[in-house]
Structure 1
Amino acid sequence: MLRSRWCQGPAGDSLSERVAAKGTDSGTSGRRSGPLIVSVTDFTSDAYRDLPGITRHGLALRRHWPRLEGAVGMWLWVAPWARRCGSVSVWTARRALAEFVRLPEHVAIMDEYRERGTIRSVIREYETFDAARIRRDAEAWLMSDDRRERR
């Protein structure tokens, strides 16, 4: 599985400042107080030929990230040999995640590719931000049989 680097959102700014003061990388360590919502998505494309377009659209949507209210940060991931891709996104509240899902750009991507594969997702709550733990939990779900259950 290939993973993008951490893309910080505006709600991750306070975390970034605290972590920078400690001399660590906000993408792999550090904690943010308060409950967080983590969304993990897993799209399996029916055809390899759709992966470049899905990836291109995902990267374009990622450019909005630094301006999305309630966005702490996210990673994109792809497993090209399995025709799978998705994201792990961290939010301050379910409302912020719901607003992202309704963005016209997100709706357009879903409309274009929804019938060209299978999408699965899971939403989890965390009391504190621990990037390494979130990433481990997400990867475990993505590699488990549980990912086959629609959540």
Structure 2
Amino acid sequence: MTAALPFSEGTVLMPWKPGPAADSAGSVFVSVTDFLAKSEPDVQQIYQLGLELGETWPVLQGAVGVWLWGRPAQLRGGSISVWDSEHDMRRFVRWPVHTRIMRTWHGKVRVAADSWQAERFDIESVWARAGKTIERPHPGAG
């Protein structure tokens, strides 16, 4: 997965983690999440949880792949995930492990998201749109 990074300095992008649907050739559903933490310890815990969730990626049904991203200086981070379908992404959101994490952090972080259907997985198009989400200030900031 190579392309010119559309993200500004200070953005950390973890390597692509392919899922079981990594060879998907049809339309895909893309989701960008953006978490804003209240403190440095919180953001460190969120990053750790994200890495742990990333380890499960190879077995998540319908997962094409994911990048985790962070902006440590802004206490922000999130994911750029690619799915076979919106249904597959929603199954992940309802997954008990994910649900438990979100309940634990409810009220402790602010979450923003963007999602869209794409005719096919094109890295440059995904990064261009995801970059717009990541580059603008978090809606909960300030």
Compute the displacement of 1:103 (Å). Answer: 1.3
Pair 1:116 & 2:126 matched:
no
CA drift at 1:42: 0.3
Mapped partners of 2:38, 2:132: distance in 1: 23
**Which residue number corresponds to residue 84 of structure 1?**
76
User: Hey, which of these two has a bigger chunk of helix by percent?
Assistant: 1
Larger Rg: 1
CA RMSD of aligned residues (A): 1.5
Tell me how far 1:34 sits from its aligned partner: 1.9
Percent of counterpart pairs with the same letter?
34
Question: C-alpha deviations, 1:125-149, integer Å up to 9, x for none?
Answer: 110111122112101122136x639
Match of 1:8 in 2: 18
Deviations 1:13-43 (A, max 9, x none): x3xxxxxxxxxxxxxxxxx532110000000
Q: TM-score, normalised by structure 2?
A: 0.85
> How far apart are residue 52 of structure 1 and its match?
1.3
In structure 2, the partner of 1:137 is 129
Runs (5+) with no aligned partner, structure 2: 1-10
Structure-1-length-normalised TM-score: 0.80
User: 4+ runs of 1 displaced by more than 6 Å?
Assistant: none
Describe the SS at the equivalent of 1:99: helix
Q: Secondary structure at the match of 2:15?
A: coil
Correspondence list, 1:67-78, <5 A: 67-78=59-70
The question of whether the paired residues in 2 share the 8 Å contact of 1:40 and 1:123 is answered with yes
Give the letter for the 1:38 counterpart.
Answer: V
What are the ranges of 5 or more consecutive residues in structure 1 without an aligned counterpart?
A: 15-31
Equivalent AA in structure 2 for residue 5 of structure 1? P
Query: Offset at 1:98?
Result: 0.7
